Amino acid sequence: MKKAIFGGTFDPIHKGHVLIAYEALSILHLDKILFMPAGNPPNKINKKITDAHIRYDLVKKAIEEESQFEISDYEINKKENSYTYETLEFFSKYESNIEWYFLIGGDSLMDLDNWKNVERILDNCKLVVYSRAGFSVEEVLKQKRRIEKKFNNKIIFLDMPIIDISSTGIRKSIKKGINVDYSLPSGVEGIINKLHLYK
């Protein structure tokens, strides 16, 4: 069985995230996508992030009708910082019969040198990168080749259209009172409105 972990703050999850997951399922012939809302991401210590359990509920609502999508509360239940290498090592041992993949955006690939224990990340998964707005495909592929050479490991490039939707943009629009229904999976906006998030 092949599963991909799709990590992120998901603050909030949007249709772009869901589309990336669908593309990964199809292109990589995966059995499952495991959404992993971040608990205490070390790269966002100084940024205000919505409570982890609320973000978890948003993701759960967004994927509830897709049988090949799952969600994990592993990282949000950790009191200390959430490091990707620890998550991958845990799941590699917990479900050792699974071939694990890990999805990251081009922006994360650009910063990968600063991640903790990159070698241990690459030892426990097949790393998959997709392009994000703000970085050209050429930039992402150049960084991919550099990382592959540096760590002597292969990275998979998910060849799909760049999706120009961001959680940051959604939060800003909500704060301004702009309707963002078109960017959010079914049911997610209802939770956002009910809890008065991002106002």
pLDDT attached to residue 82: 84
pLDDT attached to residue 37: 96
pLDDT attached to residue 46: 56
Which distant-in-sequence residues (6+ apart) come within 8 Å of 1 by Cβ? 31, 32, 97, 98, 99
Please report whether residue 191 resides in a domain. no
Angle at 58 between CA 87 and CA 97, to 5 degrees: 30
- pLDDT, tens digit (0-9, with 9 covering 90-100), for 83-132: 999 999 999 998 989 999 999 999 999 999 999 999 999 999 999 999 98
Please report whether residue 71 resides in a domain. yes
- Phi, psi values for residue 71, rounded to 5°: -135, 145
The CATH number of whichever domain residue 65 belongs to comes to 3.40.50.620
Please report whether residue 192 resides in a domain. no
Please report whether residue 196 resides in a domain. no
pLDDT attached to residue 162: 87
The Cβ-side half-sphere exposure at 23, using a 13 Å CA radius, reads 19
Q: Would you call 8 helix, strand, or coil by DSSP? A: strand
Please report whether residue 199 resides in a domain. no
Q: Give CA–CA dist 97/44, Å, rounded.
A: 33
Please report whether residue 183 resides in a domain. no
Tell whether omega for the bond before 12 is within 30 degrees of 0, i.e. cis: yes
Please report whether residue 184 resides in a domain. no
Going from the C-alpha of 145 to that of each of 65, 104, 128, 142, 194, the distances in angstroms are 37, 15, 13, 5, 45
Residues of the chain predicted below pLDDT 70: 41-46
pTM attached to this predicted model = 0.94
pLDDT attached to residue 45: 59
| Full domain range(s) for residue 129 | 2-166
What total number of domains does the chain contain?
Answer: 1
Going through 114-189 in order, the beta strands assigned E by DSSP cover: 126-130, 155-158
For residues 21 and 68, the answer to whether their CB atoms sit within 8 Å is no
